[in-house]
Structure 1
């Protein structure tokens, strides 16, 4: 396989001259450029994408840092980012932070060294300090869903609070008279907004109690444990709004284990719209985020930033949709 040194030797010029021709940077006279291009064709030389990235500090790559690949929401999101990036000629590197700040920091440093052109964060652990540091280093980035502040970066997310209100109102409309909420980590704005949406609807109702709020940590096992706690505290609960679909699957599994019929005794509504909710029995009602559109919009905005287009640090909030299924159908 030919190297850049072979091209330089055949064309009778220096390696740096060949590099200038390849990267279209700096002056090279027309005759010399022709010699270099002829040598490239003769040797069938293909420049390394990494080497060209080191020379130009542009690699036609972007990075996507995800929170937890075990949650089907994130692979669905990653598919959208990868497909849209490819249409613009970009390759995507993936990393999963597993909700660990030090792991996220390690990924950021690795991607810097690889000269990625920009980063999309869909993780819990990006803090204000790191966001400001990225701003000062002029690395383009977009935050999907979970930002330290809407003022310091561009944020793409769903309307979580409105979606939670939609879910709880649906349970009331289905005849539920006492509704619990299993929530995600309150250090995450997504989880905070969904809890607030729940309280918007029920806090003034006579049966409401803070003990109806039960943590589930956005995990399947968290949903299983939370359902057990819910029934111990409030055996008369007949509806539950679950802060994400992965926990909702755990809640359903736990209730069925306890011999509690869904939806006849307890109705369940989740949040996210992942395909897994269609694979359960009964299928789970969910508030669906436009997952593909979220990833696609974040990717387009990032590429605009990479290309030097003005993208304001602002919130881009997409609407959600209630998908009623058998887990709330009490007919």
Structure 2
């Protein structure tokens, strides 16, 4: 691999002259510039990004920490973030904590050592160490989707409680009164907010939430399958609100295995509107959010801090949820209420 000194020898100039040409840091005569550029091309010289970043005190790299990169929701968020930063000359280091707090701590340490310019975090769960580490990260931080208690950082998220309430009211207004809820892990604030929205809407409509109507899952399809199986064998709901689309898809499988027709015997509504929810059968009604735009908003919020466009108090961007009605929900006893996306 060629070095800056190799280029200097080939061009017949000092290596500091090569540095000035590469970094455009000082005027260089046209003759020398042409010779340097020719030498760079001949030797396939690639400037050291590390050396340049040390000089500029910036690396043009962003850290992105997600709890589960196999979850389509976080994959779509990451795509929005990566695409936005790529268009603005940054690269993104993606780290997957696998919903493990200890792994999250290790990645926070590693990302700090990489001298990133900023960090976007979707937390694996409540963790006092994460709050402390991010508060002392020394770079701008944006939290997406999952708030971290005690951390003074910009936050971009959907209104989880309002979205869950929206889905539940919709099911009640269809005529369902025996409604089950598949919650996410009790350790996540997102799950707690979505369950709170479910309970709020049930109370607003004068409906009780009987024992056994809320079953904890883990935001995965197997977790949704297991939780729905408990609901079907227990309260036998005519409708289920699932705390995310993957658990809703798992519930569809559990219903099919029991010969429970969706939506004639049981309506199912998810949360997130991941792309996959459009292509399962029946297609999954859900509480949606523009996930790519959510990622882009998080990226834009961070870049505003990095380049100094925004200073001062932290900001909270709350995205209003929308209801996306598809084939998996209908009034009790009706096979299909709609066969097309209907957004409310």
Q: Could you say whether these structures have the same fold, taking a TM-score greater than 0.5 normalized by the shorter chain as the test?
A: yes
Partner of 1:40: 36
Correspondence 1:257-296 to 2 at 5 A: 257-296=257-296
Does the 8 A contact of 2:131 with 2:151 survive in 1?
A: no
User: Alpha carbons of 1:97 and 1:35: their partners in 2 closer, same or farther (altered >3 Å)?
Assistant: farther
Counterpart of 1:103 in structure 2 is 103
Q: Is the 8 Å Cα contact of residues 67 and 99 (structure 1) preserved in structure 2? A: yes
Take 2:126 and 2:233, find their aligned partners in 1: how far apart are those partners? 36
TM-score (norm 2): 0.86
Aligned pair count? 325
Contact 1:164-1:197 within 8 A present in 2 as well: yes
Change in CA separation of 1:107 and 1:38 when aligned onto 2, cut-off 3 Å: farther
Aligned ranges for residues 47-86 of structure 1 at < 5 Å?
A: 47-86=47-86
**In 2, Cα distance between the equivalents of 1:193 and 1:11?**
67
Give me the whole-angstrom Cα distance separating, in 1, the residues matched to 2:186 and 2:46.
Answer: 51
Structure 1 residues 229, 329: closer, same or farther in 2, change over 3 A? Answer: same
Equivalent residue, structure 2, for 1:167? 167
Secondary structure at the residue paired with 1:327?
A: coil
Gaps of 5+ in 2: 335-344
1:127 Cα deviation after fit: 3.2
Matches within 5 A, 1:215-230: 215-230=216-231
Tell me the equivalent position of 1:141.
141
Post-superposition shift, 1:96?
Answer: 1.1
Q: Distance in 1 between matches of 2:165 and 2:126?
A: 27
Q: Secondary structure at the match of 2:212?
A: helix
Secondary structure (helix, strand or coil) at the match of 1:119 reads strand
Partner in structure 1 of residue 323 of structure 2: 322
Match of 1:185 in 2: 185
List 4+ stretches of structure 1 deviating above 6 A: 33-36
TM-superposed CA distance for 1:40, in Å, is 2.8
- The answer as to whether partners of 1:7 and 1:36 remain within 8 angstroms in 2 is no
Write the deviation string for residues 31-89 of structure 1: whole angstroms up to 9, x where unpaired: 6x878745532411431223322332312121211111221111111111111111211
Q: Which residue of 2 aligns with 1:247?
A: 247
For 1:176, what is the secondary structure of its paired residue? Answer: coil
CA–CA separation in structure 2 for the residues paired with 1:208 and 1:93: 43
Mapped to 1, the partners of 2:149 and 2:106 lie a distance apart of 22
C-alpha contact 2:76 2:292 (8 A) present in aligned 1 = yes
Worse-matched range after superposition: 5-14 or 271-280:
5-14
Q: Retained in 2: the 8 A contact 1:150–1:313?
A: no
Structure 1 269/191 Cα, relative in aligned 2: closer, same or farther at 3 Å? same
The residue number in structure 1 matching 2:116 is 116
- My pick for the range that moved more, 200-209 or 266-275, is 200-209
1:199-238 matches, within 5 Å, as 199-203=199-203, 205-235=206-236, 237-238=237-238
